[in-house]
Structure 1
């Protein structure tokens, strides 16, 4: 009688919700060969996974290639549709997981990582000898696999954009934004680095994500200069702007509560920072030598929420909006206030 052909994985056995599962380490070069995801042509009700988003895969593959000595991935989770066996090796829960070669592996979580490894291996085969953790569950039918997908994603939450920026040491823009904050006193003292939406009683005026976006808007004409130069330009600009913002200084000096200022005014909201960044980029480009002296009109702007200029452009339904239209309006509005020429599209925004 012929012996069955098997895949053999060194594994640790565990129990979750009364069912056995197994954790192993799999060489990266084998990931694309062993593990499949459901054919996207199969109707959703007959699949146990979402279709592959092919736009995401090249980005993940490039992340692997660009960070070959520091990339990090969590385990891939798969269901095994086969009659498996577990051979203990000196310990009740450590041994060899044996899976018949005619069995089928279905990815419940990690199909984009699998596809990205397949793409990255073509450019850098050396990563094939590295390993990634794989969690094996026994497949007990389509309904169970579908439920596994739902449960694995039920409580998944993307980190707050500000927290992502705070912890990101690869993204040049993130590094720049954090350096700029340290060089601008009002930002350094009044920026929340963990949240992109401030609660009413927060003692902070700004968010890291708001400053990140605004600063990179400001430096749109200085993309080719080194990081130190970018940091210097941005810090000088934001310090000059804050000198014109008496309300910001009042919060810094604890004369006014940050929550009251955010409630009644718009000039610390992300949309206004983006407006200041966009207008600043145009100002510095036109007046590279005396741009700071030309910021004084900022003092004359009515930043109160009640200002009719903000209604249906920056404020809608009583809320301050930070979308493409409101940003475009704020940039145009501030450019006009600073005496800068407007593009025809910006003229239309102000008139409307």
Structure 2
């Protein structure tokens, strides 16, 4: 990049300069506009990346972060790639937010000169990585072994930070078309999609569901203390509210919260997990009601009840019979071929429907024509 005097600008920021009584970093930068907001493209020396760009502390709860946890197994591999290819490694730009008031001094007053200039950022500013946290950690590790690489640079796309929710939405949008994070984490950080907002409201406002839901992963390990993933509850809640279009997000959240609270009261094992009297792994091992297929089926049953009435007292009376249903996985006479195939829980669409049919019959709810067709096919297969 050339300065106004025609000399080549050093990408290293000048530090310690005083503007208006405050110490600031000064970077050569290009200003752009996205979504009617200014952003800046600049370069940072690698040695400054670990010092300036912070990563959200992984000890924080997922709801308080704007990033996923670091996969520490990836970091040595990326660092080794840099060290083994000093003449050929390539890194794409890091994307970050800065939480300070910045000043941009253009080199010219019009045309391209108005977009190129110097970006002044207070030294007290906090930088947070939105995309590229593994590259940042790998750079830090590589520099420990080869400090000479610190004079090299990496492009930076810098946004002005406007709060945690915006950062979380940026995380979702930046990863929407890349290698995607887990669906649960995408839902957790999505501030835009109504279904995500509704299911997060259910979890946030219910102590029971807060304890039962895993917010980051799509799969639960045998030792997990959670019963369901956020993505499973999202799918079930979508089925619960399917086709009910006259609701605001707040109204839909209230209905979903009321329904899932009533369902939770009919299944004592969920409450035992919430109270930490039994382990979640034992319950998942022994009962079908603690798998996503059952949650989805309960959502479809709830859709019928919600369409009939939005009175939770009536739902409670209607769902009372659920407490008599034998959800044990050992009850193969009922569940094999429906929710299980060969003793393993099935996630197929037909299995969801056949599980829904069991619950509907128990509650004396009519089957739809498609449900009747699948039920008849199931009966023929057992004949």
Instruction: Please give the range of the TM-score, normalised by the shorter of the 2 chains.
Output: 0.5 to 0.7
Q: How many residues align?
A: 225
Q: Distance in 1 between matches of 2:215 and 2:90?
A: 39
- Give the distance between the partners of 2:273 and 2:302, measured in 1 at CA: 23
1:322 pairs with 2:347: yes
- 2:186 is aligned to 164
- Specify whether residues 22 and 201 from structure 1 end up closer, same or farther in structure 2 by C-alpha distance, changes over 3 A only: closer
Q: How much does 1:254 deviate?
A: 2.3
Q: CA deviation at 1:314?
A: 1.3
1:86-123 deviation line (CA, Å, top 9, x unaligned) = xxxxxx868xxxxxxxxxxxxxxxxxxxxxxxxxxxxx
- In structure 2, stretches of 5+ residues that fail to align are 1-29, 31-41, 47-81, 94-129, 133-150, 159-177, 379-383
CA 1:18 to 1:322, structure 2 compared with 1: closer, same or farther past 3 Å?
Answer: same
Hey, which bits of structure 1, 4+ residues long, moved more than 6 A? Answer: 9-16, 21-25
CA distance in 1: counterparts of 2:350 and 2:240, whole angstroms: 18
8 Å CA contact retained: 1:267, 1:303: yes
Tell me the distance in 2 between the aligned counterparts of 1:246 and 1:12: 56
SS at match of 1:170: coil
Partner of residue 213, structure 1: 235
* Residue 302 (structure 2) pairs with residue 234 (structure 1): no
TM-score normalised per structure 2: 0.52
The runs of 5 or more residues in structure 1 that have no matched partner are: 1-8, 26-71, 75-91, 95-130, 134-155
Contact 2:255-2:310 at 8 Å conserved across structures: no
2:110 maps to what in 1? none
Give a deviation string over 1:182-231, Cα, whole Å, max 9, x none: 23332111211111211111111111111111011101133331111001
Paired position in structure 1 for 2:291 = 269
**Matches of 2:340 and 2:370, distance apart in 1:** 20
Structure 2 Cα separation of the partners of residues 248 and 316 of structure 1: 24
Alpha-carbon RMSD: 3.2
Q: Give per-residue Cα distances to partners, 1:261-303, cap 9 Å, x unaligned.
A: 1000010111101100000001121244423311111111110
SS in 1 for 2:338: coil
Counterparts of 1:323 and 1:315, CA distance in 2: 10
Query: Which residue of 210, 215, 220 corresponds with 1:188?
Result: 210
- Tell me the residue number matched to 1:345: 370
Q: Does 1:19 align with 2:68?
A: no
Matched, 1:223 2:245: yes
